[in-house]
Amino acid sequence: MDQVNRVVIAGAGIGGLCAALALAKQGVEVVVCEQAARLGEVGAGLQISPNALKVLRQLGLESELSQFVFNPQYAAIRDYKTGEYYLKSPLGKQAEARYGAPYWHLHRADLHQVLAEACTQVGVEMVLNATAAGYRENTELKQVYLLLEDGREFGADLLIGADGIRSKIREQMLGQERPTFMGQVAWRGVIPVSDLNIDIKPDACVWVGPGRHFVSYYLRGGDCVNFVAVEERSDWLSESWREEGDVEELKRAFADWHPEVSELIKSASSTFLWALNGRAELPMWSKGRAVLLGDACHPMLPFMAQGAAMAIEDGYVLAKYLSRCALDDALLKYEQSRKPRATKIQQMSKANAGLYHMHGGGLGKMKLKALQAAGRFVPNVIQSKLDAVYGYDVTKGCSLF
C-alpha cells in the first residue's frame, strides 16, 4: 500500500483528536467526523499519568493545559469505614523526577477543548452531526470511504475508527457483537469546592469497600472535586450505556462510608450513571484501509485510570508508523506495538476490581493489608510496580515534529 496523505477519523474523542493532531502536524490532510452537534465532553475528570503527558508534551499542549491542572501529592488507597491507609504513594515532584513528567488531574472538557483548538489551528477539518454508519473500500482507487447515516461519504487513504466501545467501524470489520457488561456501574460527577462542607485531601484517593469503591480528586487547580463511585450489580437493564443518575440512590449506596465520602456525596446535585463494559482481546485491529483506536479496540475498566492514556498513546504511535512506513507495514507495526501493552493494562484494571471491592471477604482484606505492609517495609515497592505503566514513553527517540 502507498503512503498516507489523507485520513478520515470517525469520532472526535480524546484519542481521535490526538491522532488527528499528530497526523496534521506532519502535513497529512485530516477530516474528523463527529456524531455530536457540537464539540465537547461530558463533565468528568481524568487522571493524566506521566506516560500520557509525555505525548501531550510532544503534541505541544503542555503549556496550554497547565493552567487547568491539579497536581495531586499522593496516590492513596483507604478503608471505606475507618479511613485507614492501605497505600500512600508519592506523586507530585517525586513522580515527576522518577518518570520525567508530572501526574496531572484534568477536567475532560478542558483537555478536549485544548485538543480541538490545536487541531483547528493546524487545519484539521471538523464535521459535526456526522454519525458513522460503516465504510467501504475501493481497491482500484486505493481509497476507503467513511459512510454516514445521512448518506454522506468521506474518502481518504486511511480510515481511523475512534468511535468508542460501540464502534461501527469495529462492527463492520469484525462483525456484530455486543460489549460485555462487566457487572459494575459508575456514578460520576464534579462538585465545586465552594459547595463542600468537608475538607478533601489533595490526593488521588481510592476508598475501598465490599462490592464497591469510591474515587475522589481535585480538578482545575483545586476549584472542584471529581468523584467516581463504582458499585457491583448483576445486570444493567437500561438500553443506554449512560444515563442521568439518581443522586439520592447514590447517597444511600454510600451512606455508611467514612465521612469524607458520605459528606462529599451529600454535596452532589447531579450525576451521570455509566455501565462499565468491556470486550475480549480482538483478533485484529486493522483490515485493509481501516484501523481501530482507543475504546474501539481495547475498552477497559477504569481501575488503573489508563483508558484515556492508552488512547492518547495509540494516536501518537499510529501517527509515528504512518510517517515512517508504507500503510500496510505501518498498521502491522502499530498493532504489534500497542496490543500487548493495552491488553496487559486491561488485565491489570480488571484485577484491581477484586482488590478495590475486597473480593474474598477476609482474604480480600488480607491482600490490602499485605499491600500496606509492602509499602511500609519495602521502600518504592509500589512505585516499582507502576514503572512499566507510568515510565513507558512512546515518544522516546521519536519526535514527530
Q: Which residues are designated catalytic?
A: 217
Q: Residue 278's beta-bridge partner residues?
A: 180
Pairing status of strand 242-244 against strand 272-278? antiparallel
**CA distance linking residue 320 with residue 373, whole number of Å:** 42
Q: Which helix (H) or strand (E) holds 78?
A: strand 74-79
Q: How far is CA 3 from CA 32, 140, 158, 323, 377, in A?
A: 19, 15, 10, 8, 54
* Of 273, 280, 295, 301, residue with least CA distance to 357: 301
Which residues, other chains included, contact 331 with Cβ-Cβ below 8 Å and sequence gap of 6+? 285, 286, 291, 321
Contact call for residues 289 and 136 (beta carbons, < 8 A): no
Query: Grid coordinates standing for 241?
Result: 450505556
**CA distance linking residue 350 with residue 303, whole number of Å:** 7
3-state secondary structure of 359: coil
Using CB atoms within 10 Å of the CB of residue 158, give its burial: 0 to 12 exposed, 13 to 18 middle, 19+ buried. Answer: buried
Query: Grid coordinates standing for 137?
Result: 473500500
Task: Work out the number of other CB atoms within 10 angstroms of the CB of residue 351.
Answer: 13
* Of 5, 9, 6, residue with least CA distance to 17: 9
**CA distance linking residue 70 with residue 240, whole number of Å:** 32
